[in-house]
C-alpha cells in the first residue's frame, strides 16, 4: 500500500510540473509571436527615436527575451550594431521625424562613440533633426549630443568636458600581502600588460605611449565638437582646463557648450513644436530595437557580403578567458569562418574586430583560418574600439584593414605571466609539498615553487619565438620587412590614425566603409549584408547567467573582502600562459 501511494504521489507531482512547464512555454511562445508580429507597425507615425545615453555601449545587441515586450524599461546597454542600424533606418523611415538624445553617463570606447557620432551626423544630413537634453552629461554622452540641432541642459546640470585620463590599477601590493609573486617573461619595451602585477606605477615607456594615444583621441574629440558647436578647438581646451565641470550652468550657455537651460517639461514642449503638436497631444517615442526591427534597406539579392563579429578576449575555449563575457574562442570562430568560406553566396567577408587580444596560440589558429578564407574570397577588417595585440594578430593578414581614427590597435608583442604562490601556500596557509619526478622539468609550471634559472631561460626563449612568429605574420600581411615591423612593434599601442601613418592600417572609416570596400574587392555591385554568427537565443544566455551568477554570488559572499585577491589569482590561473594582449584595461576616463 505504501509503495502504491508513493507512485500515485509521484505521478501527481509529475503532472503538476508538466502543466507548469507547458504553461510557461505557451506564455513565452505567445509573447514571442507578439514581439515578432508586424515590426513596421511598431514604429508610430509622427514619432521620435529616443536614445538614452546611459549604461554601456556593447558591440552587439542581444536577442533579448520575448517577455521584454511586457516591460516598459529599456535595456541600459546600447548594442552598437543595432543602434547604427536604427539610426540609418530612421533617416529613411517617414514615421520617424527626429531623434531625441537623453544625455547621461555613458561608458564606451572612443572609437565606438566616433562611429555612433558619424551615424548621427549622416542622419542630420538626411534633413531630419536631433534634439539633446541632459540633467548632466558625461564626456562620452556630450561628445554624441554635441551634434544636436538644439542642446538643452538642466538649470542645475553639468557637462563633464575636462579632458581625458588613464588610471591603471596596480595589484602588486595586494599580491605581496597574500603571498603571490608574478614571474614575468615578455618581448617589447611597451608591452606593459604585466606592469599592474609587478610595478606600483607606470614605466616611462608605458607613460609615453599612453600620453601619445590619449592626446590623439582627445584631439579627435576636440575637432569634432569644435565643428558641431562652432567653437575653436583651442577655446574648448581652455574650457577643459578651467574645471568647467564645476561651473554654474549659465556658464555652459555663455561658452556655447549648450544652447538653452531647460527642465524636461520645456524640452517636451520644444519637441511638440517641432512635430507641430498641440499642448494636449502626446509625444510618441520609439526605441532603437523597434526601428532596427523594421524592413531592411535595399532589395534582397543572392550575392552577399558577410560581416563576422569577432569581439571580446581571444581564448582557447569557452570559460578560459578572464571573465564570463563574450569571447573569441578558437573552435567556434574557425567553424564559423569555414562555413563562410564554403558558402557560395558569400562573395566577401568583413571581420569586425573589437578585442584586446588574449591567447597567442588561439590568435595563431584564427589567423591561419583567415588566410584560408582569404585564398578564396576577399577579407576586410573593420576595427572597433579595440583591435590590439591578439586582435591585431588576427587582423594583419586581411586584404584591407579599416579603423576609426580613435581605435586602439597595434600592441604587437608577446608575454608570459605565471604566478609563484609558494609563499601563500607554505608561509601563510601552512601547507608543505614534496615531489617525485622522472625528469628534471616534470614539475615545470607548478605554482608551489619559483622557476629556476634554466627554466626561466627556456621560457623566455619560447616567448622570443612567439614574438618572431607574430612580427613575421604582420610583415607578411602588411608587405613590410620584419625589421620594419619590429621598429614599430615592441608592444606599443597606437590609435587608428597613428597606425595608418606607420602602415599598420590601410584606411580610416567605419563598418559601412569596410563593407563597401569588400564588395568592391569582390567586384559585386548589388549585394545583401549578412551578419554572423546569429545572436544566441535569449533562454541560453539566461541559463548561462543563472549558472555563473549563482556560483559567483556564493563565492563572493563566502570570501568577503578576500574575494578581489581570489578573483585575480583565478583569472591568471585560467588564462593561457602565453598572451598577445593589450597592456591592461585602458581605463580611459
Q: How far is CA 165 from the centre of its chain?
A: 19
What is 323-347 written as a DSSP string?
Answer: SSS-EEEHHHHHHHHHHHHH-TTEE
- What are the strands of the beta sheet with 47-52, ordered from one edge? 260-261, 150-159, 129-137, 96-103, 47-52, 285-286
- Of 393, 383, 407, give the one whose Cα is nearest residue 477: 393
Question: And the C-alpha cell for 485?
Answer: 615591423
Whole-number Cα distances in Å, 41 to 36, 294, 326, 487: 11, 8, 33, 57
- CB distance 448 to 425 below 8 Å: yes
**What is the CB-side half-sphere exposure of residue 366 using CA atoms within 13 A?**
32
- CB distance 446 to 166 below 8 Å: no
Grid cell 512547464 — which residue?
21
**What is the CB-side half-sphere exposure of residue 463 using CA atoms within 13 A?**
24
Question: And the C-alpha cell for 384?
Answer: 572597433
Tell me which of 88, 97, 102, 191 is the catalytic residue.
191
- Asked about 389 being catalytic, the answer comes back as yes
Output the 3-class SS for 25-81: HHHHHHHHHHHHCCHHHHCCCCEEEEEECCEEEECCCCCCCHHHHHCCCCCCCEEHH
Q: What is the CA radius of gyration of the chain?
A: 27
Give the span between the Cα atoms of 258 and 181, in whole angstroms: 51
Tell me which of 65, 389, 411, 422 is the catalytic residue.
389
* Residues known to be catalytic: 191, 389
Amino acid at each position: 500500500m505504501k509503495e502504491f501511494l508513493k507512485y500515485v504521489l509521484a505521478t501527481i507531482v509529475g503532472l503538476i510540473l508538466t502543466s507548469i512547464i507547458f504553461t510557461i512555454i505557451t506564455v513565452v511562445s505567445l509573447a514571442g509571436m507578439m514581439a515578432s508580429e508586424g515590426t513596421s507597425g511598431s514604429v508610430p507615425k509622427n514619432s521620435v527615436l529616443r536614445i538614452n545615453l546611459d549604461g554601456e555601449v556593447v558591440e552587439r545587441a542581444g536577442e533579448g527575451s520575448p517577455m521584454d515586450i511586457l516591460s516598459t524599461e529599456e535595456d541600459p546597454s546600447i548594442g552598437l550594431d543595432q543602434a547604427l542600424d536604427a539610426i540609418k533606418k530612421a533617416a529613411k523611415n517617414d514615421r520617424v521625424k527626429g531623434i531625441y538624445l537623453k544625455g547621461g553617463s555613458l561608458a564606451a570606447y572612443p572609437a565606438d562613440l566616433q562611429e555612433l557620432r558619424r551615424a548621427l551626423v549622416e542622419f542630420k544630413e538626411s534633413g531630419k533633426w536631433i534634439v539633446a537634453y541632459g540633467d548632466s552629461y558625461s564626456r562620452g554622452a556630450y561628445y554624441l549630443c554635441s551634434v544636436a540641432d538644439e542642446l538643452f541642459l538642466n538649470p542645475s546640470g553639468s557637462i563633464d568636458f575636462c579632458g581625458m585620463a588613464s588610471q591603471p590599477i596596480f595589484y602588486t601590493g595586494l599580491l605581496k600581502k597574500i603571498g603571490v609573486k608574478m614571474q614575468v617573461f615578455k618581448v617589447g619595451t611597451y608591452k606593459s600588460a604585466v606592469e599592474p602585477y609587478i610595478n606600483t606605477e607606470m614605466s616611462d615607456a608605458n607613460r609615453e605611449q599612453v600620453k601619445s594615444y590619449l592626446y590623439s583621441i582627445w584631439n579627435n574629440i576636440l575637432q569634432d565638437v569644435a565643428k558641431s558647436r562652432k567653437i575653436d578647438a583651442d577655446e574648448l581646451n581652455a574650457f577643459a582646463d578651467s574645471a568647467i565641470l564645476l561651473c554654474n550652468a549659465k556658464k555652459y550657455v555663455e561658452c556655447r557648450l549648450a544652447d538653452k537651460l531647460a527642465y524636461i517639461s520645456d524640452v517636451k514642449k520644444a519637441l511638440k513644436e517641432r512635430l507641430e503638436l498641440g499642448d494636449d497631444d502626446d509625444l510618441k517615442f520609439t526605441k532603437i530595437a523597434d526601428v532596427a526591427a523594421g524592413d531592411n534597406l535595399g532589395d534582397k539579392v543572392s550575392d552577399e557580403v558577410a560581416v563576422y563579429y569577432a569581439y571580446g578576449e581571444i581564448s582557447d575555449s569557452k570559460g578560459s578567458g578572464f571573465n564570463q563575457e563574450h569571447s573569441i574562442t578558437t573552435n567556434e570562430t574557425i567553424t564559423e569562418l569555414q562555413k563562410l568560406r564554403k558558402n557560395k553566396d558569400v562573395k566577401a567577408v568583413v571581420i569586425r574586430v573589437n578585442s584586446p587580444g588574449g591567447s597567442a596560440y588561439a590568435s595563431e589558429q584564427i589567423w591561419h583560418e583567415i588566410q584560408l578564407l582569404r585564398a578564396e574570397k576577399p577579407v576586410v577588417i573593420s576595427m572597433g574600439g579595440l583591435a590590439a595585440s591578439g586582435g591585431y594578430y588576427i587582423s594583419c593578414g586581411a586584404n584591407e584593414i579599416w579603423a576609426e581614427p580613435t581605435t586602439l590597435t597595434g600592441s604587437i608583442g608577446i608575454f608570459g605571466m605565471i604566478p609563484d604562490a609558494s609563499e601563500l601556500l607554505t608561509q601563510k596557509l601552512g601547507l608543505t609539498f614534496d615531489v617525485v619526478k622522472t625528469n628534471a622539468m616534470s614539475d615545470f609550471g607548478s605554482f608551489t615553487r619559483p622557476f629556476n634559472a634554466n627554466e626561466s631561460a627556456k621560457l623566455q626563449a619560447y616567448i622570443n619565438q612567439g614574438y618572431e612568429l607574430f612580427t613575421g605574420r604582420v610583415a607578411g600581411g602588411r608587405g613590410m620587412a620584419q625589421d620594419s615591423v619590429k621598429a614599430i612593434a615592441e608592444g606599443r599601442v597606437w590609435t587608428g590614425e597613428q597606425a595608418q601613418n606607420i602602415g599598420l592600417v590601410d584606411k580610416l572609416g567605419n563598418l559601412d566603409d569596410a563593407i563597401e570596400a569588400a564588395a568592391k574587392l569582390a567586384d559585386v555591385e548589388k549585394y545583401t549584408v549578412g551578419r554572423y554568427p546569429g545572436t544566441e537565443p535569449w533562454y541560453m544566455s539566461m541559463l548561462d547567467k543563472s549558472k555563473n551568477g549563482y556560483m559567483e554570488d556564493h563565492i563572493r559572499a563566502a570570501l568577503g573582502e578576500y574575494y578581489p585577491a581570489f578573483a585575480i589569482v583565478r583569472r591568471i590561473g585560467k588564462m593561457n600562459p602565453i598572451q598577445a594582449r593589450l597592456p591592461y584595461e585602458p581605463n580611459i576616463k
